[in-house]
């Protein structure tokens, strides 16, 4: 359990999950995570902003006891996902007079998932305010960062934005604030890639709206608090922008090294042109690391041998993930080896139907790549290079260092 002051009347009462390995049985958590819950003590009323994961309920209740909370007036629920709402029934049990303050969509989800009775809710709309006496909470609906129900709560007097999932990071740390910004940046980018990237357009819209809000502190529901809001807001603005970087991501699978040879050749040739290259063997890749590279990359090449007439199953999960994450890449192609036929490239293309990209001519070769097959790969390299004007061989766009080739994987 953790009880720490943020200001004299605002407390952190969240929980650190140091060794949680996966989120939603889907997203690897190499650095654990936190479930941030905040207590705001006004002169007349007390509010709890979000709760914690059900497994950490005991810690939250103990923190509220240590904070001397005799009665609780409001539980502000910014988002119904149970890592933030899961303790609401237990908190209501301890403080039966508390009202759950949330928007209509979140109310419905909380009723469905947790059975919170209808009479416990106080429904709010975008822009509504709630007075705690000398403190005022203002609610800002922010759908799709992460679910349609998500909202942020703004504490006007202290200029604190409680942003819930938005602007957060999966990072277990005893540092309440983002002090080690390099470390937080990496965790926040991975979090953005895995959680927020599919909603990039919504992220852009919400960032634009926040420009008119005077924010001194951003207190998300995962990871450290931002006492320097521009750090995370600028990072999000970059990631969510339409700008891509001259980087090529190559997720691949290979059975007898033919596809791997093609990948190695392609990666080397692209790097010689000044493009950054990341190669991932999808049999053992950390999907979070793959997702991070998709935040900025201009180009994706899926590489796989043909099995039973279609792509090797090892690449299918990767294609599904890319389609679901909807990265801003502009160019996609496919390479791989086949034995006697098949429709690997066509099937992979169908799996990427949600992406608005230009599909470049694929290179599918029979057996081991040889002679003219390498010319076809050279043509693919040229097709990619020509779509990145300004590249300087070995240096990247406009001669800037920083393009990189990381092959193997």
Stretch in the footprint of ligand FEO (CB under 6 A) among 75-83, 94-102, 348-356, 362-370: 75-83
Q: Which is nearer to ligand FEO, 83 or 158 (CB)?
A: 83
CB-CB contact of 218 with 169 (8 Å): no
State the nearest-atom distance from the C-beta of 56 to ligand FEO, in Å: 13
Q: Which is nearer to ligand FEO, 79 or 135 (CB)?
A: 79
**Within 13 Å of residue 155, how many CA atoms lie on the same side as its CB?**
30
Question: Which residues ranging from 83 to 142 are in contact with ligand FEO (CB under 6 A)?
Answer: 83-84
Closest residue to ligand FEO, judged by C-beta, is 81
In sequence order, the 6+-apart residues with CB closer than 8 A to the CB of 234 are: none
Q: Which is nearer to ligand FEO, 108 or 264 (CB)?
A: 108
State the nearest-atom distance from the C-beta of 170 to ligand FEO, in Å: 9
Question: Can you read off the two tokens belonging to residue 358?
Answer: 């230009």
- Window 343-382: contact mask with ligand FEO (x via CB under 6 A): ----------------------------------------
SS percent in the chain: helix, strand, coil, step 5 = 35, 25, 40
Helix orientation angle between 200-210 and 229-240, rounded to the nearest 10 degrees? 140
Helices (H), 177-228: 181-191, 200-210
Q: Outline where DSSP puts E strands in 51-150.
A: 74-76, 99-102, 121-123, 129-131, 136-141
Quickly list DSSP for 280-301.
EETTT--HHHHHHHHTTEEEEE
- 206 lies in the site for ligand FEO, by CB under 6 A: no
**Which of 9, 50, 158, 165 is in the footprint of ligand FEO by CB under 6 A?**
165
Stretch in the footprint of ligand FEO (CB under 6 A) among 79-87, 113-121, 247-255, 319-327: 79-87
State the nearest-atom distance from the C-beta of 29 to ligand FEO, in Å: 12
Place of tokens 């990237």: 197
State the nearest-atom distance from the C-beta of 122 to ligand FEO, in Å: 22
**Which of 120, 202, 222, 269 is in the footprint of ligand FEO by CB under 6 A?**
222
Stretch in the footprint of ligand FEO (CB under 6 A) among 40-48, 80-88, 337-345, 354-362: 80-88
* Chain center to CA of 118: 32
- 146 lies in the site for ligand FEO, by CB under 6 A: yes
- Are β-strands 363-366 and 331-338 bridged in parallel, bridged antiparallel, or unpaired? parallel
State the nearest-atom distance from the C-beta of 78 to ligand FEO, in Å: 10
State the nearest-atom distance from the C-beta of 401 to ligand FEO, in Å: 37
State the nearest-atom distance from the C-beta of 107 to ligand FEO, in Å: 16
* Chain center to CA of 298: 18
**Which of 81, 149, 247, 296 is in the footprint of ligand FEO by CB under 6 A?**
81
Question: Can you read off the two tokens belonging to residue 408?
Answer: 């193997």
Question: Can you read off the two tokens belonging to residue 46?
Answer: 């007390």
Dmax of the chain from CA atoms?
80
Residue 376: strand, helix, or coil? helix
Question: Which residues ranging from 299 to 338 are in contact with ligand FEO (CB under 6 A)?
Answer: none
| Interacting residues with ligand FEO (CB under 6 A) | 79, 81, 83-84, 146-147, 165, 221-222
């Amino acid at each position: 359990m953790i009880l720490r002051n943020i200001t004299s009347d605002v407390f952190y009462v969240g929980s650190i999950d140091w060794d949680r390995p996966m989120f939603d049985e889907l997203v690897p958590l190499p650095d654990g995570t936190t479930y941030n819950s905040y207590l705001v003590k006004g002169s007349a009323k007390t509010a709890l902003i979000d709760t914690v994961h059900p497994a950490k309920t005991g810690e939250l209740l103990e923190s509220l006891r240590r904070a001397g909370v005799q009665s609780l007036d409001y539980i502000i629920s910014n988002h119904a996902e149970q890592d933030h709402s899961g303790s609401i029934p237990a908190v209501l049990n301890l403080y039966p007079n508390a009202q759950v303050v949330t928007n209509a969509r979140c109310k419905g989800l909380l009723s469905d998932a947790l059975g919170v009775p209808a009479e416990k809710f106080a429904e709010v709309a975008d822009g509504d305010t709630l007075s705690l006496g000398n403190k005022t909470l203002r609610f800002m609906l922010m759908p799709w960062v992460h679910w349609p129900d998500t909202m942020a709560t703004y504490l006007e007097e202290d200029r604190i934005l409680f942003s819930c999932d938005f602007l957060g990071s999966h990072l277990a740390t005893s540092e309440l604030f983002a002090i080690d910004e390099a470390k937080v940046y990496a965790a926040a980018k991975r979090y953005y890639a895995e959680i927020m990237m599919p909603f990039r357009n919504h992220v852009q819209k919400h960032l634009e709206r926040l420009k008119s809000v005077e924010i001194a502190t951003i207190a998300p529901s995962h990871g450290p608090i931002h006492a320097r809001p521009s750090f995370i807001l600028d990072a999000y603005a970059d990631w969510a922008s339409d700008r891509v970087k001259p980087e090529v991501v190559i997720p691949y699978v290979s059975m007898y090294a033919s596809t791997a040879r093609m990948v190695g050749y392609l990666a080397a040739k692209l790097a010689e042109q000044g493009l950054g290259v990341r190669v991932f063997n999808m049999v053992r890749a950390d999907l979070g690391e793959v997702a991070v590279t998709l935040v900025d990359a201009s180009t994706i090449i899926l590489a796989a041998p043909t099995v039973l007439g279609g792509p090797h199953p090892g690449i299918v999960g990767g294609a599904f993930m890319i389609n679901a994450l909807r990265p801003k890449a502009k160019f996609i192609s496919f390479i791989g080896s086949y034995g006697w036929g098949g429709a690997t490239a066509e099937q992979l293309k169908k799996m990427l139907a949600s992406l608005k990209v230009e599909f470049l001519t694929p290179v599918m070769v029979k057996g081991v790549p040889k002679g003219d097959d390498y010319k076809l790969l050279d043509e693919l390299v040229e097709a990619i290079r020509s779509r990145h004007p300004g590249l300087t061989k070995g240096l990247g766009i406009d001669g800037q260092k920083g393009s990189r080739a990381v092959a193997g994987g």
